Chains A and B, each alone.
Chain A
Amino acid sequence: MIERIVEGLKHKPGALLPILHSVQDHFGYIPESSVPIIAEKLQLSRAEVHGVISFYHHFRSHPVGCRVVHVCRAEACQAMGGRTLEEHVKARLGVDYHGTSSDNEFTLEPVYCLGNCACAPSIRVNDDIHGRVTPQKFDRLVDELTTTALDFVQAKGH
């Protein structure tokens, strides 16, 4: 699979970021084993590829939970209770930033601005952005998401 992704994109000028995005979109993270393959095909050293992965906050070298929750830490959200929300989210999920909850449902990441600053504070769950998030609204969202997942599992079981 990794070979196929690299082959499909390596002709692009400055192909490394598009390749890394594509690998992460597919696996949810960038497996260590992909580094030598990408390096060889792009004629880079493994250190160079690793250096790029580790430079960017978006790229991950470890698997994540079912969903990634990004909480905005930037000023517009701070002005609307973002710091309280951050603490609440950590407590509710039982993890700190970059951690994954024990049920493997959520991975928590910080983010600096989602561009939703007039309806702060904001969070992102996978590709969905939520505005005016209070601790209560966050709890409802978590309940909704986990129940939907449960329904899905049960439905599949029948």
Chain B
Amino acid sequence: MLKRIYVPCDTTALSMGADKVAKLIERHANARGLEIELVRNGSRGLFWLEPLVEVETDSGRIGFGPVEAHDVDALVDAGLFEGKSDHPLCLGMVEDISYLKLQQRLTFSRIGITDPLSIADYRSHGGFVGLEQAVSLSPQAIVDEVKASGLRGRGGAAFPTGIKWQTVHDEPWQQQKYIVCNADEGDSGTFADRLAMECDPYMLIEGMTIAGLAVGATQGFIYLRSEYPVAHRILNEAISRAEAEGYLGRDVRGSGRAFHLEVRLAAGAYICGEETSLLESLEGKRGLVRAKPPLPAIKGLFGQPTVVNNVLSFAAVPFILAKGGQTYADYGMGKSRGTLPIQLAGNIRRGGLIELAFGVSLREILEDFGGGTFTGRPMKAVQVGGPLMAYMPQNQWDTPMDYEAFAQLGAGIGHGGVVVFDDTVDMGEQARFAMEFCTVESCGKCTPCRIGSVRGLEVIDRIRAGESPEANLVLLEELCETMVDGSLCAMGGMTPFPVQSVMKYFPDDLTA
């Protein structure tokens, strides 16, 4: 029987040596005269186990990991190809690993299971059911389904997706409209967009196509950060295969309606994750933030009505159309409906993707899933939601993952990234970095952000050097308030959040 072996091909698996492992496995199989089918699947998102090699057996897929090149010899000798489970790297049935088993994977239900580029795999695991459904519905009915799901923008701002679509839908249909996917995932600690694009690219294509049908847009762009070369290659290949199969193009699945999709590469500017700056960049200009209004939904790309959504928002849509908005809304708490793909990163023993209904506490994520720090030292601070969000001290970790609960603390969920620091971290250095990052990445259009960040950096340096710390702390607080109140967008408006959180919760680190 042809043995099927899986070695993941996402960036993280590759960064830990998956290509080498795959080559060695093939070489061993050849040397033993064994015929194997080596599948380069996506990652399961259990990153501490990468490269996670899986072997198909009659009872399911058995995992081995993390497999390094020098392990392959011994693994093969111990019966890797037979799926024998007495090697120390054997993890048993992959589906039974509690980290995976405890999750509620609605969006990421296929990652790691399928070959990302295989349309046949995608279809046999529920793919394109949502699109087929959308083709049979009126545009308004599609928008209504998304509204019923309660989906809020997963990029960080959490604006209701259905309402955004309705606004674009209601603009006259005779004009060109656009669907733009924000794949400029620049927040440190986040990688869910990348996983979606590398491990299940047709899901994003399907979600964007459904959006196109819903609002009457015939052209879509994926604005992808240039730091993601693997995602770039996979998306381009997936788009051309989807075109060949009639899922994209002049006549989407016999609907008589067109939807074309193109990947546009960004160029390393963090600010272009802000939607209006992104649109400027797509138009071929410097990524300067636009004043709002007008909203992009009314005057967006090239002045036309445009849906701009994050990768994860589009990625949630195929499930919503296939299973119904209500099914999605049955998960979650309060006004945060559905599931949140949490990305656990930094100094953590078991980092990876954890998709769960809103409402799980941060502590459960850190302890039950994460298993403590990588270094084995106590945790000191956690930054949730990217570089523009607050550092949270220990007494806040019982907060449920819910947009409103986090907002009450002056924190935010953002894009769902969770970065853990152990007790060796110098929080004063972290506050300094927040300002430094803003000096590098500010687009320069408004003064509070452009000048404020430079002055902020200088003041923090003075405080850390012991130069009249009390007076300078007052100055820093005033500067933070000015930036929050006076900046044009979230870049300058939120850079103070991590700084203020350090002043409030870790004051000793700042002045020491």
Contacts and interface: CB of A to CB of B under 8 A. Distances in A.
Contacts, number: 154
B425 A117 contact: no
B166 to A, nearest CB: 26
A92 to B, nearest CB: 20
A51 B302 CA distance: 19
Interface stretch (A70-78, A99-107, A149-157): A70-78
Interface string A73-106: 0111111100100000000000000000000000
Interface in B277-336: 281-287, 302
A80 B11 contact: no
A74 B440 CA distance: 12
A20 interface: yes
Contact of A118 (B185, B193, B227, B345): B345
B121 to A, nearest CB: 23
B16 A119 contact: yes
Interface in A38-62: 42, 51-52, 55-59
B226 interface: yes
B264 A76 contact: no
A58 B268 contact: yes
B128 interface: no
Contacts of B194: 115
B416 to A, nearest CB: 12
Q: Interface residues of B: mostly helix, strand, loop or mixed?
A: mixed
Interface in A9-38: 13-18, 20-21
Interface residues of B, number: 61
B374 interface: yes
Interface in A118-142: 118-120, 122, 124, 127-132
Interface residues of A, number: 43
Contacts of A75: 188-189, 346, 383, 387, 419, 430, 433
Contacts of B361: none
Nearest to B421: A79
Nearest to B14: A129
B268 A56 contact: yes
Interface stretch (B52-60, B145-153, B347-355): B347-355
A112 B346 CA distance: 14
A49 to B, nearest CB: 10
Interface of A: 13-18, 20-21, 42, 51-52, 55-59, 70, 74-80, 83, 111-120, 122, 124, 127-132
Give the 9 A-B CB pairs with smallest separation, nearest first: A118-B351, A16-B284, A74-B188, A117-B345, A56-B267, A131-B15, A58-B268, A79-B346, A118-B47
Given A17-B267, A75-B430, A127-B229, 18 more contacts: A15-B284, A16-B284, A16-B285, A17-B281, A21-B265, A74-B188, A75-B189, A75-B346, A113-B187, A113-B188, A113-B227, A117-B343, A118-B48, A119-B15, A119-B48, A119-B351, A124-B227, A131-B15
